[in-house]
Amino acid sequence: MTSFRFPHPLVLLVGFIILAAALSYVLPAGQFARQKNAATGREVVVPGSYQRVKSTPVSPLDMLVDIPKGMADAAGVIFLIFLAGGAFTVLDQTGALRHGVDWLLARAHGREVLVIPVVSILFATMGALENMGEEIVPLVPVLLVLMRRLGYPVLTAVSASIGAAIVGAAFSPINPFQVGIAQKLAQLPLLSGGGYRLVLLVPAVALWIAGTMRHAIRNRVTPEVTAADVAADATGAGRHGLVLLLLLVMFSIFGYGVVALGWDFDQMGAVFFVLGVGAGLLGGLGLSGTAEGFVTGFRDIAFSALLIGFARAIFVVLEQGHIVDTIVQGLSAPLAHLPVTLSALGMMVVQTALHLPVPSVSGQATLTMPLFAPLADLIGLSRQVVVLCFQYAAGLCELITPTNGALLAMLAICGVRFDEWLKFVWPLYALLLGLGVVGVVAAIWLGV
């Protein structure tokens, strides 16, 4: 008997695109009226305005056309990944990257196990602060070098980075793209309930770190340094310090631009292009060697970058078929007839289910908060609890949904199959979701 093997990521995403198109023939088309929200500047749904509209089934030809449309919608992040992939390939070819990691590990000798908590806390903090997701994909080469030098499995690079960021974002008291937008739409003061969320954030991140360390230590192997590594490390010898200094400077500019200046993916991509060119010239590769490094990086990163476009195409198909609002209406309508606590838990179920067809947390907030906030008033549920339900359900779903393009891209770069990731993440996801459920029920009991 042949054991089941999880489909290739591209097969999986194309399957969801086909399913979305098929649903446009089965589900009735419908939509809510929308109006601009003054607090967020976003178009939000008007509660109670759902109505049927003319059916617009997505034909096979339209479905195929929606794939490049999805790539066009995701162009900014796709080109960021291309440019960053090229830049880090150049950086790696100078030998400076391995040199810097070896220097770091030499000074952490005997305390290597602390690397995972430090890296995880860093990314969890960035997730909590600004919902870092796609921005992590370009950092994979550095993380891979670090984990391989430590002898940890490559899955650790995914878990300690984007995994930690997702957990930090889901339990964050200040994440502007999750709790910030949701609180504005629910007409709550910004940062309200922050202390309560912080109490849950600490054990959530600690639980994730413990699970990551357990997997890393149980699967650790003796690090191997190949002849190719030695040869690459020798390339540009003596210039490694300059290249690493440039890396530090450009990362500082990158961080400041994202956090303080609100940079988009275009500006981030420009930073990585400058980093790649500068690293190649300082590292002794010359103009031609730098260009060849970029080409190699483009080739190696292409599949991972394009996965994000395929993931975006799923939502494009659903929107074209006018069935996104139908799905929301169908899932949310029964909640009004449940007791308060069950209604809150039902909201978590709905938010989890909706995150598959609506993989953007900010987009999901604008779609669901205007519906659930008035419903909460009718059944006597705190609007703050409604926001908690959204955060813990939709936010944590980012760990397991195959429509999370950034996660699939990172797994592809690291050579980790999605079923391998699910085997690792399911127990942790269940524990974190359980923590979220406890948090929601306690919030109802405490009157948060």
Above pLDDT 90, what percent of the chain? 27
Say if residues 309 and 10 touch (Cβ distance below 8 Å). no
**Domain extent listing, the chain:** 15-50+59-446
- Strand runs labelled E in 127-227: none
Tens of pLDDT, residues 222-236: 766 555 555 555 554
pLDDT tops 50 at residue 266: yes
Q: What is the DSSP letter of 2?
A: P
* Spatial CA neighbour of 81 closest among 290, 258, 308: 308
Mean pLDDT of 307-333: 83
The CA distance from 399 to 411, in Å, is 12
Q: Is 436 helix (H, G, I), strand (E, B) or coil?
A: helix
**Does 200 score more than 90 pLDDT?**
yes
pTM to 2 decimals? Answer: 0.77
| Residue scoring higher pLDDT (105 or 414) | 414
The pLDDT of residue 1 is: 43
- The Cα–Cα gap between 413 and 230 comes to 23
Q: What is the CA radius of gyration of the chain?
A: 23
H or E element: which one contains 380? none
Residue 213 has pLDDT above 90, yes or no: yes
- Give phi and psi for 35, each to the nearest 5: -140, 160
What dihedral angle (degrees, nearest 10) is formed by the CA atoms of 27, 32, 37, 42? 30
Is 388 a residue whose pLDDT tops 70? yes
pLDDT in tens, 135-189: 777 777 778 888 888 888 999 999 999 999 999 999 998 887 788 888 888 888 8
Is the per-residue pLDDT at 396 higher than 90?
yes
Q: What one-letter code names the amino acid at 270?
A: A
**Left (φ > 0), alpha (ψ -120 to 50) or beta: where does 264 sit?**
beta
Residue 418, SS3 per DSSP? helix
Given a cut of 70, whether residue 40 has pLDDT beyond it is: no
Q: Is 60 exceeded by the pLDDT of residue 237? A: no
pLDDT in tens, 333-347: 788 778 889 999 999
Are the beta carbons of 328 and 370 closer than 8 angstroms? no
pLDDT score, position 174: 82
**For the chain, what is the mean pLDDT?**
83
